[in-house]
Chain A
C-alpha cells in the first residue's frame, strides 16, 4: 500500500488530468449531444491548437495566453466549416465518426509534415512555476487547466440554463424541426455550437501545450478515455464531462499508484463498457 502522501499526490494529479479530460470532452459532448455529430477530429483539432500555440510561443515568442486571440477565432471558423460540410452532405451520425476520422488522419499527417513526428515541449515562464503546499506539489499549468475547465464548463452551463439563446439551443437539441417551427433559427445555432466546440478545442490545445509533450501519435491516446468521460457525463451536458473526467482521472491515478501504471487504461474503459451495457438508453 502506498503512503498517504503518494495517494494524496495521486488524487491531486488525477483531478488535474481529469480536468483536461473534461475540457477535451466538453466540445465533444456539445457536438454529439446537440448536433448529433460524433467528432473524432476534435482531438486532432486540440493537438493542432497545441502545436500552433507552441509555434507562436516558442518560436515567435508570443505569450501563450495571447495566442488564444489567434487560435480561438480561427478554430471557431474551422468548426463552422466542418458543420457546413457535414450538413451539406447530410452525413449520418455513424458516418460522422468515419468522416471525422478521415479528417483526423489528414490533420495528423499535416502536423507530422510540418512539425515532424518528434516530441515537442513548449518552454514558457508558466511551465516552470510550481509550489509546495504541505507535502503536495502544485504546478501552474495544471491549475490553469483546471481553471479553464471550470470556467468554460460552468459558463456553458450558465448560457444554456439562463439565456434565451441557451433555451433555443436546448429546444433544438430535443426536436430541431419543432424548434424551427417556433421561430428558432436552428441552422444558425448549429454553426454557433459547432464553432464554440472547436474554439474550446483551441483552449484545450493551449492547456495540452502547457502541461504535456506534443507528438502526432498522442492524438489517439486521448480518444478512448475522453469518450468514456463524455458518455459518463451525459451527452450534451456541459458539466458532466468535467465531473466524469475527474472521477476517471482520480481512479486512474490511484490505480497507477496501487498497481502498475500500465493497468490504468483498464479503469476508464471498463467503466465505459459497463455504462454502455447497463445504461444504453441514456445515449
Chain B
C-alpha cells in the first residue's frame, strides 16, 4: 500500500519533466484543482453537514488576494499564496464566529446564508479591488518545471496532496468523529462532550484556507481574473455536485466525484456540446441525490465492505470496573433556585435539589412537572435563567454542555436519540473520546465493546441504530451514557414503552450499574421501579420540588398524592 502510494506520487511529480504536450499538464491541473475544491468543501460541509453554497466566495478571496498583490503590486507570486490562504481563513473564521453561535442557522438556512455571502463579497470585490474590468495577473512563474504549465501543475499537485492528507487525517481523528456526530445530531453531540462550536469553526477555517490556497494558484493559471468568472454560483454548485456524487461521508469521496465530473465536462467542452454537458451534469445531480444518497464511493464501499471482525466476549471481571460505593453522604450535585421559562410557561420555578455521591435519587412528578427540563438544564442543553447548579463544588450555570459532560455528567434521552448514521459501536465509542479522560479511538472502542457486552448489544455492534427495536435503542442510550464513565448519570424514563419482560431486564441492568458505584438520578413513572431502586425520591410539580425523603414515606404524603391524582372529593 505504502509503496504503491509512493510510486504514484513519484510518477505524478515526474510528469512535467517527461516532455508531454502542455495539454496534459493543463488537464491534470484542472483535475487537481477540482479535487482540492471538492475535498476542501467536504471537510466542513460533508463532515459536519453544514452545506455551504459559498465555497466560491472563499476561493474568490484567494484569487483576488493573489491577483491584487502579485498582479497589481508586483509581489512575488509564491509569497502571496500563504496570504491568499490566510485571507480566506480570516474571513471564514470571522463569519463562522458569528454564524455558528446562532443555533437555528442550520441546513438550508446556512446554505442560503453562504450563497448571500458570495454575492456580497463579489459586489465588494467588483467595487474595490477589481474596479470593473478585471485584473491582469502576469507574473514570473517559479521555474520548478521546464514549462510554466508544468510548474503550476506541480503547485496544484502539492495543494491537492496537502488537502487530501488533511481530509484523511481529520477523517480518522477525534476531530472528524466529532464532526460526523454534529452532522447526525448536533445537540446530542454537544451533550456527549463534543465542543461543537470550536469544531465547526476549526473545520470552516481549514476548508477556507485550502480553498484560498487553490484560488491563489488559480489566479496565475487563468492570468486574467474577473468577478463574474471567479465568484460564480456555478463553481459553488459544481463543488457540491462533485462531493455529493463521490460521497460526502468519506474523505476520498469528493475526489472521486471531482475526477468523474471534470472528465465528463472535458468531454463536452466545445460549443453545442457544452450545453449538453451542463444538462447532463444537472441530470447526474438529480439521479445521484435520489438514487445514490451515499455517492459512488459510499455505494461501492457498502457493497464491498469486509465482514466486520468478530470479537470474543470480554471476561466478566473487566465489565465491573469499580466496586459498589456506599452512599457516602457527600454532596455531589447541588441545585439551588434554578428557573427556566418557555415563552411565559414557567417550566422550572426555583427548583432545589441535592444529589449525594453513591445514591440513586428518584425524580418523580406528574407529566409536565419539569423533570425533563431539569435534566436539560443541568446537562447544559438549556441555559438556566437564575439559580445555581454546583457539581463537586464547581458552578455549572453558564458552562457550555460539552464542558458539563467533561466534568462527568451523562444523560439518556426519553425518546432515544442515537446518531443515526453511526454504527452502534461508533455511537457508544463517541462519549469516551470526549469524556473526562480523552481517549483515542482504539481505546474508546475497547471501552465501547465493554458496555455493549454489558447491555447485551454485542452482536449488534456493527448495525445501525435504525435496525434496532425500541428496547434495544433504549439499551443503546444506556450504553452510550455509561461509556463515558460518568460520576453522575441522569436516566430519563428508560423504562417507558417497554414490555414487562423487557422492563425486568432493564431493572437488572440498572441494579448492575448501581453496583458499580455510579450516582444515578432516576426519572421514572413506573412506581414499582422507583420504590425498588431508589434510596431517596424528590417530587416535582409545577416546576418546584415539593417533597423529598425515603420513597415509601414520601409517596404516602397527602400533597404528593394530590399532585399525582388530584384532590379527593369523597
Tell me the A residues contacting B by CB distance below 8 Å. Answer: 38, 89, 91, 93-95, 97-99, 101-106, 108-110, 112-113, 220, 223-224, 227-228, 231, 260, 262-263, 265-266, 269-270, 272-273, 276-277, 280-281, 283
Residues of chain B lying within 8 A (CB to CB) of residue A263: 123, 127
Chain A residues near B272 (CB-CB < 8 A): 113
Scan residues 107-122 of chain B and give those whose CB is less than 8 A from a CB of chain A: 107-109, 111-113, 115-117, 119-120, 122
Is there contact, CB below 8 Å, between B123 and A104? no
Please judge, given known A-B contacts A109-B279, A280-B105, whether A102 and B119 are in contact too, CB under 8 Å.
no
Closest to B101 in A: A277
Q: Report chain A residues within 8 Å CB of B275.
A: 109, 112-113
Which residues of chain A are near B111, meaning CB under 8 Å? 94, 97
B200 to chain A, nearest CB (A): 15
Interchain CA distance A113-B277 in the complex, whole Å = 12
The residue of chain A having its C-beta at the shortest distance from the C-beta of B232 within the complex is A220
* In contact, B127 and A280 (Cβ under 8 angstroms): no
Q: How far is the CB of B514 from chain A (nearest CB, A)?
A: 40
Report the 7 A-B pairs with minimum CB-CB distance, sorted nearest first: A105-B282, A109-B279, A102-B285, A280-B104, A102-B282, A89-B290, A102-B286
A246 to B186, CA, bound (A): 38
Distance from A216 Cβ to chain B, minimum over Cβ atoms (Å): 9
Q: How far is the CB of B253 from chain A (nearest CB, A)?
A: 15
Q: How many whole Å from B56's CB to the nearest CB in chain A? A: 12
A38-B108 contact in complex given A99-B286, A109-B278, C-beta closer than 8 Å: yes
A272 partner residues in chain B, CB cutoff 8 A? 112-113, 116
With a cutoff of 8 Å between Cβ atoms, the chain B residues found around residue A277 in the complex are 98-99, 102, 105, 113
Chain A residues closer than 8 Å to B119, beta-carbon distance:
224, 265, 269
Q: Is the CB of A101 within 8 A of B107?
A: no
Query: Contacts of A266 on B, CB cut-off 8 Å?
Result: 120, 123-124
* Complex alpha-carbon distance, A277 and B62, angstroms: 25
With A98-B244, A112-B275, A266-B123 given, is the CB distance from A273 to B113 under 8 Å? yes
Q: State how many angstroms separate the Cβ of A1 from the closest Cβ of chain B.
A: 20
Question: Do A276 and B105 have beta carbons less than 8 Å apart?
Answer: yes
Contact between A273 and B279, CB atoms less than 8 A apart = no
Q: Is B15 an interface residue (CB 8 A)?
A: no
Could you tell me which residues of chain B, from 268 to 286, have a CB within 8 Å of some CB in chain A? Answer: 272, 275-276, 278-279, 281-286
B74 at the interface (CB under 8 A from A): no
Residue on A with the closest CB to B131? A262
Residues from chain A with a CB closer than 8 A to the CB of B284 are 102
Beyond contacts A93-B107, A113-B275, A280-B109: 8 other A-B pairs, Cβ-Cβ < 8 A, are A103-B286, A105-B278, A109-B282, A112-B275, A263-B127, A269-B123, A276-B109, A277-B113
Contact B116 A102 (CB under 8 A): no
**Pair B279/A106 contact, Cβ less than 8 Å:** yes
What's the least CB distance linking B182 to chain A, in Å? 15
The answer to whether A283 and B109 have CB atoms under 8 Å apart is yes
Question: Is the CB of B126 closer than 8 A to any CB of chain A?
Answer: yes
Q: Do the beta carbons of A110 and B279 come within 8 Å of each other?
A: yes
A-B contact pairs, 27 of them (CB 8 A): A38-B108, A91-B289, A91-B290, A99-B289, A101-B237, A101-B282, A105-B278, A105-B279, A105-B282, A106-B279, A106-B282, A109-B282, A223-B115, A224-B119, A228-B116, A262-B126, A262-B127, A262-B132, A265-B120, A265-B122, A272-B116, A273-B116, A276-B105, A277-B98, A277-B99, A280-B103, A281-B104
Report the separation of the CA atoms of residues A79 and B556 in the bound assembly, to the nearest whole angstrom. 64
List residues of chain A with CB within 8 A of the CB of B286. 99, 102-103
Known: A220-B233, A280-B102. A105 touches B281 (CB 8 A): yes
Q: Is the CB of B289 within 8 A of A109?
A: no
- B343 to chain A minimum Cβ distance, whole angstroms, is 11
Cβ contact within 8 Å between A99 and B123: no
Known: A94-B111, A224-B116, A273-B117. A99 touches B290 (CB 8 A): yes
Contact B283 A94 (CB under 8 A): no
Partner of B285, one of A93, A99, A262: A99
CB-CB under 8 A from A38, the residues of chain B are: 108
Q: Nearest CB to that of A227 among chain B residues?
A: B112
* B51 at the binding interface (Cβ < 8 Å): yes
Distance, CA A228 to CA B286, complexed state (A): 25
Nearest CB to that of B95 among chain A residues? A273
B164 within 8 Å of A by Cβ?
A: no
* Beta-carbon nearest neighbor of B286 in chain A: A102
Beta-carbon contacts under 8 Å, B61-113 to A? 98-99, 102-105, 107-109, 111-113
Mark B286-297 against chain A: 1 for CB-CB distance below 8 A, else 0.
100111000000
How many Å lie between the Cα of A47 and that of B181 in the bound state? 41
Complex CA–CA separation, A243 to B283 (angstroms):
36
Q: What is the chain B residue whose CB lies nearest that of A113?
A: B275
Q: Which of A94, A108, A227, A277 gathers the greatest number of chain B CB atoms within 10 Å? A: A94
Assess the A94–B113 pair: CB atoms within 8 A: no
Q: B112–A231 contact, CB under 8 A?
A: yes
Q: How far is the CA of A273 from the CA of B282 in the complex (A)?
A: 28
**In the assembled complex, how far is the CB of residue B270 from the closest CB belonging to chain A, in whole angstroms?**
14
Q: In the complex, what distance in Å separates the CA atom of A25 from the CA atom of B123?
A: 23
B240 near A: Cβ within 8 Å? yes
Q: Which residues of A contact B104 (CB under 8 A)?
A: 280-281, 283
Q: In the complex, what residues of B have CB within 8 A of residue A265's CB?
A: 119-120, 122-123
B289→A270 contact, CB < 8 A: no
**Cα distance, A111 to B116, chains bound together (Å):** 26
- How many Å from the CB of B295 to the closest CB on chain A? 12
The residue on B at minimum CB distance from A106 is B282
Contact residues in B for A98 (Cβ distance below 8 Å): 240-241, 244, 285, 289
Is A260 touching B127 in the complex (CB atoms < 8 A)? yes
A68 to B117, CA, bound (A): 37
* Cα–Cα distance between A126 and B326 once the two chains are bound (Å): 90
Q: Is the CB of B282 within 8 A of A104?
A: yes
Distance between B144 CB and nearest chain A CB, rounded to angstroms: 38
Give, as a whole number of angstroms, the nearest-CB distance from A251 to chain B: 14
**A223 to B53 Cα, complex, angstroms:** 13
**Chain B residue at minimum C-beta to C-beta distance from A86:** B290
Residues 229-244 of chain B: 1 if any A CB is under 8 Å from the residue's CB, otherwise 0?
0000100010011001
Contacts of B233 in A (CB 8 A): 220, 223
- Asked whether A273 lies within 8 Å of B120 as measured between CB atoms, the reply is yes
CA distance A168 to B489 in the complex (A): 46
User: Which among A223, A269, A270, A272 has the highest number of chain B CB atoms within 10 Å?
Assistant: A269
* Interface residue from B276, B285, B290 paired with A101 (Cβ < 8 Å): B285
A270 touches B120 (CB 8 A): yes
B281 and A97 contacting across the interface, CB-CB below 8 Å: no
Contact between B102 and A102, CB atoms less than 8 A apart? no
Contacts of A99 in B (CB 8 A): 285-286, 289-290
Most chain A CB within 10 A, of B126, B276, B286, is at: B286
A231 to B112, CA, bound (A): 10
Q: Which of B112, B122, B240 has the most CB of A within 10 A?
A: B112
Q: Are B112 and A276 closer than 8 Å at their CB atoms? A: yes
B274 to chain A: closest CB distance in Å?
9
Q: List chain A residues, Cβ under 8 A from B105.
A: 276-277, 280
Q: Which chain B residue lies CB-closest to A117?
A: B275
Set of chain B residues within 8 Å of A220, measured between Cβ atoms? 233
User: For residue B291, which residues in chain A have a CB less than 8 angstroms away from its CB?
Assistant: 89
Find the residue from B115, B132, B240 having the highest chain A CB count within 10 A.
Answer: B115
| Residues in chain B near residue A102, CB distance under 8 A | 281-286, 289
What is the CA–CA distance of A94 and B108 in the complex, to the nearest angstrom? 5
Beta-carbon contacts of B428-468 to A below 8 Å, as 1s and 0s? 00000000000000000000000000000000000000000
